[in-house]
Amino acid sequence: MAREGVATQIDPAMRPPGSEPLFALAGLIARRGPASSAARLGAALSQLGPSYVKLGQFLATRPDVVGPRMAHDLELLQDRMPAFPQEVAEATIARNFDRPASVVYTRLGPPLAAASIAQVHQGEVIDPDGMARRVAVKVLRPDVQRRFRVDLSSFYRAARLGESVTPEGRRLRLVAVVDTLARSVTMEMDLRLEAAALSELAQNTEADDEFRVPAVDWDRTGREVLTTEWIDGVKLNDLDGLRAAGHDLPRLGRIVMQSFLRHALRDGFFHADMHPGNLFVDADGRLVAVDFGIMGRLGPKERRFLAEILFGFITRDWLRTAQVHFEAGYVPPHHSVEDFAQAIRAIGEPIHSRRADQISMAKLLTLLFEVTALFDMKTRPELLLLQKTMVVVEGVARNLDPQLDMWKTAEPVVRSWIERNLGPAGRIEEAAAGVGALGRSLQALPELIAQGQRIAAQLDLATRDGLTLSPETTDAIGRAEGRGNRWMTIGLWAIAALLAGHLLF
């Protein structure tokens, strides 16, 4: 950061007391040149590693946390990083499909967008009917797997150190956090898994009117190359372009938030990297998502707790919201439910019925962190992707509509899920599922009884004339006993020698 000149861009009023010598040294080693602060910051994070780029993409969605200028500078990390050479991309394609890129695609254009993991080219293929079709070709960056391994190794060292020296580090479960990141990265490095995630999300959302995903070209997809339908649309971070195309920005903000909640609650499977560089709006006004390397899953139990917690905030039922946290095990049982309800009331009341531009997310996150520490709430690794994505989605929606009321926007989706799953229809389905599980257990019961009878007969035969050990087992026990006796004898002689020495001297 110092070498790229980022440190010298920090406002002197924001620097910690006594840090002037360090910033003076940073100024001495900073690169000279006319590069903008955005270019310097992007270059620094890129050189630090792809994990740091991911962090920059996340912070770019929160100008209310890092400041508008910093957020604007970080936006280039979403899709405008330096591209790698065309010949490297073509070599990767040839390696994946055992034939030249010119055979796989009738045309492969230069890179149009580049991020931390991969870059995207526009290609063209000829279908069996002779029609030309444009496609998006995503190619992994060379050596990205090794760079992520280096990042993760550093993160693991820092996490273990943090957990060993401070109780706060153990409460935050830093190693488990890095474990979650490592699993996510492992899946992101194989574009076949991304294609599968894209296909699953497409199946889940095929009936949605306001959201869709591109189709996968499986014949041209491999471990390092993903080919999908080409999307014509305006990126969600191009506000001027969206207005020029006649799109309603507040409506788009609502679609972003409601689509995410619908996927998380209804399907338990959601896009966990919904920064503006991965979101387009097509000519029909539908939200189109790309880049499915990071996906999140929620089980039925987590979805129920999420819905009840959100509904508690929407209806301002703080006691029920607190009870759900205890039922889920998010708060240790030795704490008071009423005290926790009071704490979350302090979080919820100031942001209820307020527009997005009236809420300081930085202050809200600070208060949330203080409450989790006060009530000994440990990090829940299974919820990390959900929590991170909720912050990003709220930031994206806020950028589209600064007057967004997040609770009114979320209410229809959450209420619909609760009525469907926790109402009478949901209870009937739950009871039917229980009957089905009982039926399957009864079907397996005769086999379990027969298996128990076989085990009992074998045990009776083995012990009828007393328990008999094989010669090999007897020899092994004898050898182990001999080793134990030798060490016992040596120990006794050592004690005797020490006693003799004590008596003599």
Provide the annotated active-site residues: 273
- Distance spanning both ends of the chain, measured CA to CA: 67
Facing residues of 281 across strands? 234, 287
The CA angle 161-375-55, to the nearest 5 degrees, is 50
| Contact predicate 347/371, CB 8 Å | yes
User: Do residues 231 and 326 make contact, with C-beta atoms less than 8 angstroms apart?
Assistant: no
Q: How many CB atoms lie within 10 A of CB 28?
A: 8
268: alpha, beta or left, given left = phi > 0 and alpha = psi -120 to 50? left
CB of 135 within 8 A of CB of 228? yes
β-pairing, 225-229 vs 269-271, is unpaired
What is the rounded CA–CA span in Å between residue 41 and residue 5? 8
DSSP helix/strand/coil, 106: coil
CA proximity to 132, closest of 153, 152, 99, 105: 105
Instruction: State the DSSP H helix or E strand holding residue 229, giving kind and residue range, or none if neither.
Output: strand 225-229
Q: Which helix (H) or strand (E) holds 341?
A: helix 337-348
